[in-house]
Amino acid sequence: MSPESVPKPWASLATERFQQALSWFESPVMTLEPPGEGLMRLSRSNKLVLFGIALLMVGLAGRAAADETPSSRTPAKPAASAPGAASALSPAKKKPAKTTESAKQRAVTVSARQGSEPGGSRMTTGSRAVALTFDDGPDPAETPKILRLLAQQHVHATFCLVGKNVAKFPALVRQIVAGGNTVCNHTWSHDLKLGKKPAAQIKADMQRTNAAIRAAAPNAKIKYFRAPGGNFTPAIVSIAKQMGMGSLYWKVDPRDWDHPKGETHAQHRSRVISKVEHNTRPGAIVLSHDYAQPDTIAAYHTLVPWLKKRYKLAAL
């Protein structure tokens, strides 16, 4: 802003206008005489008239200055967008912030990372005890091996049984139950997509598997159900609950079923041992497989004594 555009104080402006008025009356145009002499020769009455005109011009100048320059004594009204302006004028109710879709997705992601159970299934034992679970059996070659090891170490485990294998090897089911171990329904044929099928089909599969287990070991208590691949859905969890079975997930998965190309038997056993030792914590449910997994059974000859020294091992 240039100096000429800055509003002048009203007193300075009034003085300037008064001097202009005097100069006007003293000008040769008004007096037809040299400047200054015309004013001195005016009569007293004319001087009073001149003085009144000057006062009027001073007042007009002051009013103009007041219009052009905002008074510093008048407080400025708060802008509508200023913080607290709305509350100063009238109380307003605060609207709750809307939850955006991205926020919901983040919440879901944070929940999954913290270990929310898939479909409402169970990931921990509910105590400080650690539970060993073996899936897909019974297997005529490997199941007897793990049963002997557990008996030698005075440890119990949970066996998630596939109905077809139960029907083929009922004596192994009786041996599992006689050893104080827990049995679990693992579907009739290890159907990875069972949870997405109609409710009637899900229930029929579970009933068929339970019937096979009870035919082999009439006194067996079937407390749990495990979906193949951990593919739990709310529907499959709900149906299992209606049939008196809790849905069993896991906390530790050494992926003993996975055999990468080029991995030796020794490397596989070492990987399973390392995964279980590094990831097991109090209350963990450990997933493994006894069906067609000889390296897993060999790994547990090292793992069971190691785990016993650090945790209480219990069947669910």
Active-site positions read 135, 289
SS3 277: helix
- Mention every residue, 6+ apart, whose C-beta is less than 8 A from residue 177: 183, 217, 219, 220
DSSP assignment of 121-147, as one string?
-B-B-SSS-BEEEEEEE--TTTHHHHH
- The half-sphere exposure of 124 on its side-chain side, counting CA atoms within 13 A, is 11
- Cis bond before residue 7 (omega within 30° of 0): no
User: With contact defined as beta carbons under 8 Å apart, do 290 and 137 qualify?
Assistant: yes
- In whole angstroms, what is the distance from residue 218 CA to residue 151 CA? 22
- Mention every residue, 6+ apart, whose C-beta is less than 8 A from residue 280: 130, 252, 286, 307, 311
Q: Which three-class secondary structure string do you get for 68-106?
A: HCCCCCCCCCCCCCCCCHHHHHCCCCCCCCCCCHHHHHH
- In whole angstroms, what is the distance from residue 167 CA to residue 216 CA? 8
Structure tokens at 26: 């003293």
- The half-sphere exposure of 264 on its side-chain side, counting CA atoms within 13 A, is 3
Q: Which helix (H) or strand (E) holds 182?
A: strand 182-185
The two most distant CA atoms of the chain are separated, in Å, by 144
Q: Which of 142, 226, 221 is nearest to 177 (CA)?
A: 221
